Structure 1
């Protein structure tokens, strides 16, 4: 007999977080589909909506069968389909591509914490969907000239090994910094690309936020994204690297919120987590000490900014509490 294991604490946690992320993406897709005038973009987003909606129902079913309270997540109350277009020129697909980057990492972690076959199957299938949508989105953006390629490098003709620890310091005879390697170039380009999208997203959020504290928080996030872009661009300019990682998408002048402040704050919370992971990746695989230090400083800035946002969400009752372990001390005292 195929006996199903009881659901574990880690599986409850990952399914809960997946439910939050997927219901957020569904609401974002609904707004973008409603405002899009490009049939190919509508097809990409519409197909993704249908597939994700099925998995939201699957997670609901698991929670119901296990007697677990279904999270609230994000509902029709969190999206205003009547709001004017807040973003234009391919921003919808650009943002969906960023969300799929986040999903790739989350599914890997979630699979590592899953033990039941049905739950592992969910993350396996979601990973397949994510890879397909990411590929479709990338090709769509490249074909329309919205997305630019990373800088080119001279093709290596021989295999070399690092001969001296000065490679880590970036020291050369005529400069205090060695040339960037391909891994470092890729990380810097990706940092500029994602922060450009994040800056546009949060600019739109700042335009339509009602709460003064939330508006100020979004403005602070916009400045943080600009600071990171400037750091990355200066490194590339100092290395005399020709680069172009700006997107052609734009923010309109609308001040009508398409999403609830709860959804917008949680969206930035997700992106901040992605930003911290990205900075950590960059610091680990960058072999120039100056780059490692700058990536670490960026990660610190994002961490403190994220913590500030969590406090705002808790203060306004927007931070849904994840499933908790039993408080044995409290039970014993009773």
Structure 2
């Protein structure tokens, strides 16, 4: 680290992003190392290996920064949270779809992080994270295409002439309903069905192997929520005779031997919940149909409630690490 950075303290944004990244990447190291135990396909194995190298590099960088700044390093996730001897829980195809989904989430996250980071070493780190994740996403997309597994969004007609909207009812049309979806609405519907499909597959697998009855019950509840959202979102696409992403729970084996701790699975599922909230928020901002906005808003309320209950379950089991907090000036004034 450059000497001139010694006197520049990390901002709240920089500290919080690094802390969260450490938890997520230490989890990814455990998950990806387990994936590599069972992979057969050479191309997918190379992809997972690259993803693992990135997560390990991120963990090492953050540990170095925290050590230098005398910041408590989070516990995160370690080898105690993974059983490398557990039977295969997912297929190679699932691993490929998993990496594509996680890389898409990484692109969104790192792009947002860079908007709020100023210290040069931290900016360089997250800029490199963004570049590396773009490469990972491109690799995953190419393998999906080559294997005929890519779930591409539907095709809509090309515009053939200039047209202007003549009715105010086109935008947030009150109780009426514009029949045709815009291209952006189609894209968000398709993407949100796809991410919920992954959520269903993950909760199917995790609920099979979770040791705690409470955790199993919570994961199955999350699965029900995702299935309900898939049904509603798919109906919009089907009404316009547009394709819907297929399910891939079949990529989960019948193993009941857990490769991961309940703590890791709860953290992982809640990361997916937070990503889902963000995805629905974007969909709301880009939708021009009232019925879509109402459904996405209702979904977000349901997902936030699920997230709150998940956090309470993690607190109950002492699995939730406290993030960096601002100073409580009222408490300080009491001394």
Please indicate the TM-score interval, normalised by the length of the shorter structure. over 0.9
The aligned counterpart of 2:330 is: 329
The aligned counterpart of 1:269 is: 270
Question: Which stretch shows the higher mean deviation, 91-100 or 198-207?
Answer: 91-100
The yes-or-no answer on 1:67 pairing with 2:59 is no
1:48-87 map, 5 Å: 48-87=51-90
The yes-or-no answer on 1:299 pairing with 2:281 is no
| Mapped partners of 1:103, 1:169: distance in 2 | 31
The aligned counterpart of 2:30 is: 27
The yes-or-no answer on 1:10 pairing with 2:13 is yes
Deviation at 1:2, TM superposition (A): 7.4
The aligned counterpart of 2:200 is: 199
Deviation at 1:50, TM superposition (A): 1.6
CA deviation map 1:64-121 (0-9, x unaligned): 1111011111111111111111111410121121111221122122212211000000
Q: Which of 99, 102, 106 is the equivalent residue of 1:103? A: 106
Unaligned segments of structure 2, at least 5 residues: none
The aligned counterpart of 2:242 is: 242
| Mapped partners of 2:66, 2:242: distance in 1 | 51
Contact 1:80 1:257 in 2 (8 A): yes
Deviation at 1:170, TM superposition (A): 5.8
| Mapped partners of 2:162, 2:140: distance in 1 | 35
The size of the alignment, in residue pairs, is: 331
The aligned counterpart of 1:217 is: 218
Q: Which of 136, 147, 161 is the equivalent residue of 2:150? A: 147
| Mapped partners of 1:161, 1:79: distance in 2 | 57
| Mapped partners of 1:284, 1:250: distance in 2 | 33
| Mapped partners of 1:176, 1:22: distance in 2 | 44
Question: Which stretch shows the higher mean deviation, 324-333 or 48-57?
Answer: 324-333
1:114-153 map, 5 Å: 114-153=117-156
Secondary structure class of the residue paired with 2:171 = helix
Deviation at 1:56, TM superposition (A): 1.1
The aligned counterpart of 1:43 is: 46
TM superposition score normalised by structure 2: 0.94
Contact 1:83 1:256 in 2 (8 A): yes
The yes-or-no answer on 1:156 pairing with 2:159 is yes
| Mapped partners of 2:242, 2:108: distance in 1 | 30
CA deviation map 1:174-216 (0-9, x unaligned): x943211111111111111111111001110011111111100
CA deviation map 1:258-307 (0-9, x unaligned): 11111110111111111011111111111111111111111111111111
Unaligned segments of structure 1, at least 5 residues: none
CA deviation map 1:289-331 (0-9, x unaligned): 1111111111111111111100000000000111223333333
Question: Which stretch shows the higher mean deviation, 25-34 or 97-106?
Answer: 97-106
| Mapped partners of 1:124, 1:155: distance in 2 | 35
Secondary structure class of the residue paired with 2:297 = helix
| Mapped partners of 2:225, 2:79: distance in 1 | 31
Which stretches of structure 1, 4 residues or more, deviate above 3 A after TM superposition? none
The aligned counterpart of 2:95 is: 92
TM superposition score normalised by structure 1: 0.94
